[in-house]
Amino acid sequence: MSISKSFYRPKKAQWSYWERELKWDRTLASYFSYRPLESNYDFVVVGAGFTGLSAVYHLAKRHPRAKIALIDRYLPPLGASTRNAGFACIGTVGEFIADSQLEQPECVWDRMHERWQGLTLLRSILGDQVIGYESLGGHELFTEEEEFERVSGYLASCNTALKQRTGLDQWYNLTRINGYNAIQMPREGQLQPAMAWSGFAHLCEQMGIHLAWGRKLVDMTEKMDGVCLTVEEGAKGSHQQFRSSSVILATNAFSKSIDRDISVSPCRGLVLLTKALDSQPWQGTFHAQQGYIYFRNVGTDRLLLGGARHVDFSGETTTQFGVNTEIKAFLLKYMKEILVIDPSEVEFEWSGIMGFTPDKNPVIRTELSGNIALAVGLSGMGVALSAELGRKAAEFF
């Protein structure tokens, strides 16, 4: 059956630049084909973002003979994994200070360490070429002297804490860049999210995992001998039931639509990307305003700028994709005044949906029966965390 006739497809106008760059239509059609669902699986993972891919990959490694399916309501998946900014990062000093208001500093450093472990794992599974990884370093940028002084005061303790956990030193150094005070993060990198996603999905398919696109989970009931799942099939809109001994939910921002008690709130993020510029002075990854604003080079001549959800928290608490005009105006002003780049050069815009928990720690647990596990709520910088979270979820079984 032709792939284009068989699945829900996000409209081309909604694609991220990463998806366009990969010529999504052709890539996906050559990689994936339609296969009907079987009636019984050993493991089913719901949600084919980075977390779900990592979960099925590690399940297949742990149980080489098991029958495993990964289902997603869309092809390509429609959440955050192919629509993010592609920062391969673990967190800034400014963000550490903000997060320490929510929980103990030790817990925040542990989460930064987990992000580092996740990135290392992702790179080791797929290789840097497949994920489009580049090690250009990163900066936290300060436009106000007082804020720079305040944040710099925590730099030494962050370096010490991360050295204790990783054995590596010099995570953060004071510097100046393009006329601004900054904290340099030499270990920070960047990747091409859609390349990383399709490389991972292709690997999982080659391992014999059934990638079942265009199936939306609409009901899940625990039975004595496992879990009964009901999915809606995209192209036909019909319902189908099947069974699995165990299930992992990796539906991140969309988890509440499956179980209202999962404490993950959706949070939309906006990304803007310029055309190729004659001069693009911001090479590497950059964070500002406690991580709410981020920008980076794409190639050497485009600038990506995103974030600013702090401008309208309530407006961005949504699972609907779209552009918040207030946030867009804020970002364009920032581009003009701070980055000194002409906002009329913006060529692409897209949104993605993250899932946040109250303390920014992901939900990773099994339900009482032990047959269903949750791996959701990555709360930003989830590219880094996802490989590790999926691995942990697989270890429940």
Q: Which residues bind ligand FAD (CB under 6 A)?
A: 46-52, 71-74, 77-81, 83-87, 89, 216-217, 250-254, 258, 269, 271, 306, 352-354, 378, 380-384, 386
Distances (CA, A) of 284 to 95, 257, 294, 298, 382: 18, 37, 11, 9, 19
Main-chain phi, psi angles of 319, to 5 degrees: -100, 5
For ligand FAD, which is the closer residue by CB, 90 or 158?
90
Residue 250: count other Cβ atoms within 10 Å of its Cβ. Answer: 29
152 vs 166, beta carbon nearer ligand FAD:
166
- Give the pair of three-digit tokens for residue 188: 């920070």
Distances (CA, A) of 21 to 11, 18, 158, 339: 15, 5, 37, 25
Closer to ligand FAD by Cβ: residue 87 or 242? 87
Chain centroid offset of residue 24 CA: 18
Give 115 or 148: the residue with its C-beta nearer to ligand FAD. 115
- The CB-of-190 to ligand FAD minimum distance in angstroms stands at 8
- At closest approach, how far in Å is the CB of 384 from ligand FAD? 5
What are the residue ranges of helices labelled H in 63-192? 93-99, 105-126, 128-131, 145-152, 155-166
Distance CA 178, CA 328 (A): 24
Closest separation in Å from C-beta 255 to ligand FAD: 7
Residue number, 64 or 116, with CB nearest to ligand FAD? 116
Q: Minimum distance from CB of 64 to ligand FAD (Å)?
A: 23
User: Considering the complex, what minimum distance in angstroms separates the CB of residue 375 from ligand FAD?
Assistant: 7
Cα torsion through 13, 30, 121, 139, rounded to 10 = -30
For ligand FAD, the closer of residues 137 and 150 by Cβ is: 137
> 150 vs 228, which CB is nearer to ligand FAD?
228
What b/e string do you get for 208-228 counting C-beta neighbours within 10 Å, with b at 16 or more? ebbbbbbbbbeebeeeeebbe
HSE, side-chain direction, 13 A CA sphere, residue 387: 21
In the complex, the smallest distance separating the C-beta of residue 217 from ligand FAD, rounded to whole angstroms, is: 4
By beta carbon distance, the residue nearest ligand FAD is 382
Distance CA 91, CA 170 (A): 14
Q: Are 226 and 243 in contact (CB under 8 A)?
A: yes
Nearest distance from C-beta of residue 211 to ligand FAD, angstroms? 12
* Spatial distance between the Cα atoms of 50 and 196, rounded to a whole number of angstroms: 9
Whether the upstream peptide bond of residue 76 has omega within 30° of 0, thus cis, is: yes
Closest contact distance (angstroms) between CB of 119 and ligand FAD is 8
> 171-177 long-range contacts, Cβ below 8 Å, gap at least 24?
172/93, 175/139, 177/139, 177/141
Please answer whether residues 304 and 298 qualify as being in contact, where contact means their C-beta atoms are separated by less than 8 angstroms.
yes
C-alpha 132/C-alpha 108 separation (Å) is 28
Who contacts 362 (Cβ-Cβ below 8 Å, separation ≥6)? 375, 376, 377, 378, 379, 385, 389
State in angstroms the smallest separation of the CB of 149 from ligand FAD. Answer: 27
CB of 146 to ligand FAD, least distance (A): 27
